[in-house]
Amino acid sequence: MTPVIPGKVREIRLARVPEGLPGRGDFTVAEVPPPVPDAGQVLVRNRHFLVFAALRTLIGGEVEDAPLPPLRPGDPLFGPAVGEVVTAPEGGALRPGDTVLHMAGWREYAVLPPEQCTRLDGALPDPAAHLGQGAVAYGALTRAAEVRAGDTVLVTGAAGAVGSSAGSVARLLGAGRVVGSTGSAWKADRLTAELGYDAVVLRGAGSFAARLAEAAPQGVDVVLDTVGGEQLAAAVQVARHGARFALVGALRGQLSPQGAGGTAPVELDGYRLILKGISLRGYTGADHPGVDAEWSARFGSRLRSGEIPFPSTRIAGLAQAPQAFEDLLAGHHFGTVVVDL
């Protein structure tokens, strides 16, 4: 049976290099002929894709040491997505109807080589939950921060995609107390009510470091930092001797009106890191390829049962994606931001 594909399909493109924070007007919804796979390629109908702040680092100009080249005006955006295979090469491992995870989001249809599609064999009841960042929190806490039973854990940016999962993950790994930071009281309430946080510190006027010290009077053993900048510096101040920091995000830079959004400079005192025996370790999933499988093996059944929540903001329809990105950078969203197609 030949699948029915529309004569025109849509994708989100960069319209111009933004000045300051990107807004919906910096993107276009383009109507294009459907992509045509060659004999070795897979055609995927996307169902969900991720809206994520790190995309800003690719659309604001050159960022040194970036893993990918910057996007130019006219380029389609990309990022994590979940879709269904429409057609696949004869004799390969993929079949029409398979659910796959891949990196060609922000479009209705994608053409990819099979090796860039990960088949979701033990698919979760909500396939969009495969866009959740629990595995990143798990990898950062186990590989970079080496969390131990009883540790006090600080998660900066606790309402973000990684942070909203990190409270539950830290609990599963035995943390004694979990403290977060975020920008709004309603987010703080939800984090403590539903998502494993014991206390949440609000950023804003006055000394963040002083509020943090109040929330963690005994100091912190582990820091999972998704923000950088002054929140990271404050975390060093309240860190206990031997504290271990996993650096996983730089929202401070990505959500700032200044600059290209790629950097989160922080002034640290090296002597204090020495005296306190602190370690800071940068973490990305790409550097730890075994983590996803370990996360699924250890906690897949609790993800399927809903015991581990998937905190998300759902956006209906491709055309809403630019607004969703603008709102994400403005701090209006909670958890993993997913566009459903």
Should residue 228 be labelled a site residue for a second copy when binding is judged by CB under 8 A?
yes
Q: Is the dihedral of CA 280, 157, 178, 314 positive or negative?
A: negative
Alpha-carbon span 159 to 180, nearest angstrom: 8
**Number of residues counted as binding a second copy (CB under 8 A):** 43
Should residue 139 be labelled a site residue for a second copy when binding is judged by CB under 8 A?
no
Alpha-carbon span 30 to 164, nearest angstrom: 32
- In the bound state with a second copy, the residue whose beta carbon lies nearer, of 220 and 321, is 220
Should residue 279 be labelled a site residue for a second copy when binding is judged by CB under 8 A?
yes
| Residue whose pair of structure tokens reads 């830290």 in the numeric block | 170
- Token readout for 341 is 């197609």
Question: CA–CA distance from 255 to each of 12, 42, 97, 260, 331 (Å)?
Answer: 21, 35, 38, 10, 8
Should residue 287 be labelled a site residue for a second copy when binding is judged by CB under 8 A?
yes
Should residue 63 be labelled a site residue for a second copy when binding is judged by CB under 8 A?
yes
Should residue 61 be labelled a site residue for a second copy when binding is judged by CB under 8 A?
no
CB of 176 to a second copy, least distance (A): 22
Amino acid at 107: R
Please identify which residue in 174, 277, 306, 317 interacts with a second copy, judged by CB under 8 A: 277
179-208 burial, b for 16+ CB within 10 Å, e for fewer?
bbbbbbeebbebbbeebbbbbbbebeeeeb
Should residue 257 be labelled a site residue for a second copy when binding is judged by CB under 8 A?
no
Tell me which stretch binds a second copy (CB under 8 A): 76-84, 208-216, 245-253, 298-306.
245-253
Question: CA–CA distance from 338 to each of 31, 294, 313 (Å)?
Answer: 21, 24, 6
- Going by the DSSP 8-state scheme, the letter that residue 264 receives in this structure is -
Beta bridge partners, 245, equal 223, 280
Should residue 267 be labelled a site residue for a second copy when binding is judged by CB under 8 A?
yes
Tell me which stretch binds a second copy (CB under 8 A): 35-43, 81-89, 207-215, 277-285.
277-285
Please identify which residue in 19, 38, 65, 90 interacts with a second copy, judged by CB under 8 A: 65
Please identify which residue in 4, 90, 271, 289 interacts with a second copy, judged by CB under 8 A: 271
Should residue 258 be labelled a site residue for a second copy when binding is judged by CB under 8 A?
no
Please identify which residue in 24, 171, 276, 304 interacts with a second copy, judged by CB under 8 A: 276
Burial of 281 (0-12, 13-18, 19+ CB in 10 A): middle
- In the bound state with a second copy, the residue whose beta carbon lies nearer, of 66 and 293, is 66
Angle made by CA atoms 112, 114, 118, in degrees to the nearest 5: 100
- Token readout for 113 is 């080589």
CB of 189 to a second copy, least distance (A): 28
Please identify which residue in 283, 310, 325, 334 interacts with a second copy, judged by CB under 8 A: 283
Alpha-carbon span 232 to 245, nearest angstrom: 9
Binding site for a second copy (CB under 8 A): 57, 63-67, 144, 225, 228-229, 232, 241-242, 247-250, 252-253, 262-284, 287
